[in-house]
Amino acid sequence: MIQNINMGYIYLLFAIISGCFTNSYLKMSDGFTKLNPTLFAIFYSILLCFFLAKMYQTIKLGISYSLYAISLILFTSVWGYIFYKEKLNIFGVTGITLIIIGIICLYIK
């Protein structure tokens, strides 16, 4: 049982990494008008689905998907700010903070 839970979190980590790559390549594909980023986005989307499916076998859905989702929200917010000069206003920061607090409440039980 403990080994399965640990593997679930490893799959979660790989899903987060795959999701980050997917989002990055989707942005670079410019609406699927550029071939190479589109192909990479498709490849990482397939990996993402695999890791999510494996993760769901061992970790509760509510906890695993919420950890995955907030990780991607944080990554894309920081990535967009650094590389695409996208601004994050007070409402965005407040929303992300509330999501993090909600996930902490889910995890604590």
Q: What is the per-residue pLDDT across 37-56, written as a single tens digit (0 to 9) for each?
A: 999 999 999 999 999 999 99
Q: What single-letter DSSP state applies at residue 29?
A: T
- Count CB-CB contacts under 10 A for residue 108: 6
Rounded average pLDDT over 72-85: 87
Phi, psi for residue 37 in degrees, rounded to 5: -60, -30
Q: Residue 2 pLDDT > 80, yes or no?
A: no
Distance between the two ends of the chain, CA-based, in angstroms? 20
pTM for the complete prediction?
Answer: 0.82
Residue 102: predicted pLDDT? 83
Q: What single-letter DSSP state applies at residue 16?
A: H
Residue 109: predicted pLDDT? 65
Asked if residue 71 lies in contact with residue 16, where contact means CB atoms within 8 angstroms, the answer is: yes
The first and second tokens of residue 41, run together, are: 């986005």
